[in-house]
Amino acid sequence: MAPTYDVIVLGLGGMGSAAAHHLAARGARVLGLEKFGPVHHRGSSHGGSRITRQSYFEDPAYVPLLLRSYELYEQLERDTGREVATLCGGVMLGRPDSRTVGGSLASARQWDLPHEMLDAKEIRRRFPTLTPHDDEVALYEARAGLLRPENTVAAHVQLATQGGADLHFEEPVTRWEELPGGAGVRVHTHENTYTAGQLVICPGAWAPQLLTDLGVPFTIERQIMYWFAPDGGTAPYVPERHPIYIWEDAAGVQIYGFPAIDGPEGGAKVAFFRKGTVCTPETIDRTVYDHEVRAMADQLGPRLPTLPGRFLKAATCMYSNTPDEHFVITRHPAHPENVTVACGFSGHGFKFVPVVGEIVADLALTGTTPHPIDLFDPRRPAAAVA
């Protein structure tokens, strides 16, 4: 007979690994099930770097969660000795009325976050790698920077294991059901059947398959990350000299980019924010085509004088989008006694990984959380728009 656990965590990517750690740290008997290996590249928690920032243009309601996430990332580094965060500063660029600039400024003002507003001349002076138009401005945030997704997942897996969690990789779940009378859950894999009092589902891009009864029309979107070697070398692009950036043009198209963090041959990573193609985890095309590289290069040329330079490589990942691009973090409305879900992170979730782990642990063990998560209720009207 398989052992009975307090909590089973389905999915051990960014969110699931954090949840397993926080649950185990509170003394829960935890089983984690993952269909791939540890720190894999088949979902969304990979690619070497992710942006983190506090002046959040998506909605000021995210800021308290970001402040807590920053604390938890610092704790994660102390507890594991792994490098997970580099706060190199960041600029949110565009016209003053753009969402990227205006939304970031609104969050900074509402929460009294340290920031500076830079005109185009000052941007070019301070960051010679960037060449904005004269009518563009930027919000500069010194506490912005980048996260290492693979290191973050590995750190949470390490702490979860040290805390006593039983983590099974290469063991996909085939189905699950609630036990009679709300007594818990039963989870089936090809290898075994497990029971627990609670189930946590962190499915990433598999949300449309695993959470059909949630009532949210998730869309899975293929995204591409690109690395280019700048003309003249990467010295001007090191984190001490080059910030992370999100840059919105007059048409509303956003690109984002990073310092060169992996040495002279690592290049500088860039990508479109959204502008992907609909896919599923099974049908995603992992090939990156010449016309896609050219489209990215065309965006870089007018904005960064030494990019695109030489194309190095590209990789794909997936966004799991909700209709309004806000998260879903909740007790499952159809299974409120036994099931917690965290999904639909819509391309901007990784910076929240540790605080989502904390929230999920709260919900699974107590049914509630002190963190503000009303925005993430799947029953909100905007989440159900097909």
Per the annotation, binding residues for FAD are 6-36
Q: Are 371 and 65 in contact (CB under 8 A)?
A: yes
d(CA 257, CA 33): 33
The one-character DSSP state at 3 is: P
Q: What is the DSSP string of 105-120?
A: HHHHHHTT---EEE-H
Identify the bridge partners of residue 186 per DSSP, sorted by sequence position: 177, 195
- What are the tokens at 312? 């190095």
Distance, CA of 189 to CA of 176 (rounded, Å): 9
Lookup: tokens for 154: 């590995």
- Count of residues making up the chain: 386
Which ranges constitute the DSSP H helices of 119-245? 120-126, 149-162, 207-210
In terms of DSSP bridges, do strands 137-141 and 116-118 run parallel, antiparallel, or are they unpaired?
antiparallel
Fill in the DSSP letter of residue 190: S
Beta carbons within 10 angstroms of residue 18's beta carbon:
34
Longest pairwise C-alpha distance within the chain: 69
Answer whether 7's CB lies under 8 Å from 195's CB: no
Question: What tokens does 360 get?
Answer: 């999920």
Inter-helix orientation angle 353-366/14-25, to 10°? 50
**Half-sphere exposure at residue 86, Cβ-oriented, CA atoms within 13 angstroms:** 21
Q: Which residues are annotated as a binding site?
A: 6-36
Q: Which long-range contacts (CB under 8 A, 24 or more apart) does 376-379 make?
A: 376/326, 376/327, 376/328, 376/329, 376/330, 377/328, 377/330, 378/214, 378/215, 378/216, 378/328, 378/330, 378/333, 378/341, 379/215, 379/333
